[in-house]
Amino acid sequence: MNHLPMKKIAIFALSAAILSACRSVVAAPQPIRVTETDAAISIQTEALSATVARKGYVSGIKGGSFLDKKTGAKDLGFGLQVQDWLMAPGWREDGYERTPKIHGNLPKHIVEGPQLCTQAKVLPAQVIRGGNFVAVKLSYTYTQAGAGYTPGSTWEQTLVFQPGLRYVICSERITSKNSVNDLFYRLDMPGHIRHKNGDSFTYIYLSYLDKLIPSSAFDHDFGPDERFLYQRHDDAIPQRMIRAYQVKLNGRPGPWLAGMTLDPAEVCEAWCHQRGYVCMIQEMHRRHVNAGQPFGAAYIVGWFDDIPQMQKTYDQFKGARGIEINRGKFELIRK
């Protein structure tokens, strides 16, 4: 047997150690870059690029800014996890649109406004840097109220970005100023889809249906209660609440952009209809709320290669209902 001199063994050992260290350096996650202006906050991770608007069309992630660096895909709508009104069942003369192709024959009225995304115009935003994440917190106090209600409910939204992940963990928390039977709130989840005859996406996946919906199903306008409407039945809550669309890249099927509500029982109604674009409205809670009572939900919004990957991620976080940040750490709350 040939024996290497001890000097050569030591050199080989040192070389192996250096190579291992280099691999560790390469594999280490890159720091999250944050750029702030008066108008917006830009977030850059290894996996994602996103913008959170402070002014203009506000709340959630700004439309067209959510970039999947793995594939080059971007979101197709006006924003992701965009917030709307506080509402309750039943028609009132309050300016809420009753056109069937827009809101359907689904009687509802506004408890508090304005419509946050389009009319708040400016949102206070705070960047929180943790040990392995960057969070953006947005807040707003509603200033308008329908007849019989008082304005002043507060809304807080948290978006958590982590190194290397293609998705964002997010939540909102609302503290009601009023005692209301069946109070609910509305948001886009994950977001709307702009297209012309289905040119920008291939399929829509709604986990509470038993088949994929092709883009050709949205070639003409139809109301939210005509097709693909979800309404909660407390004795038949779906196993998962995932709403996703598959983006086209260069005319071919690309990755999926999914919005996952991690407690499926919090979704009371969800639309997926065509009104010049695919409208993916989701309504939350619709339960009795006392004045001063907080409520809300938690979500994952992000990019996935396929449906099994979405389902696996969902099951990892299922049951979460909020986010708490304390001493440089964040935690998903399941209560």
pLDDT of residue 210: 87
pLDDT tens for 197-231 read 999 999 999 999 989 999 999 999 999 999 999 99
Distance, in Å, from the CA atom of 106 to the CA atom of 226, rounded to the nearest integer, reads 11
pLDDT of residue 298: 98
Alpha helices in the chain (DSSP H): 6-27, 100-103, 116-119, 307-317
Per CATH, is 30-333 categorized as 2.70.98.10?
yes
Distance, in Å, from the CA atom of 239 to the CA atom of 318, rounded to the nearest integer, reads 9
Distance, in Å, from the CA atom of 334 to the CA atom of 66, rounded to the nearest integer, reads 27
Q: Tell which phi-psi region holds residue 63, choosing left (phi > 0), alpha (psi between -120 and 50) or beta.
A: beta
Identify each DSSP E strand in 90-209 by its residue range: 108-113, 121-122, 125-129, 134-141, 144-145, 154-161, 167-175, 180-188, 201-206
Residue 210: how many CB atoms within 10 A of its CB? Answer: 6
Distances (CA, A) of 96 to 110, 149, 188: 7, 16, 17
DSSP class of 103: H
pLDDT tens for 94-142 read 999 999 999 999 999 999 999 999 999 999 999 999 989 999 999 999 9
- Token readout for 104 is 């359907």
In three-state secondary structure terms, 175 is: strand
Structural domain boundaries in the chain: 30-333
Q: Is residue 115 exposed (0-12), middle (13-18) or buried (19+ Cβ within 10 Å)?
A: middle
Q: Which residue shows structure tokens 């399941």?
A: 334
pLDDT tens for 230-283 read 999 999 999 999 999 999 999 999 999 999 999 999 999 999 999 999 999 999
Q: Say if residue 11's pLDDT is above 80.
A: no
pTM over 0.85: yes
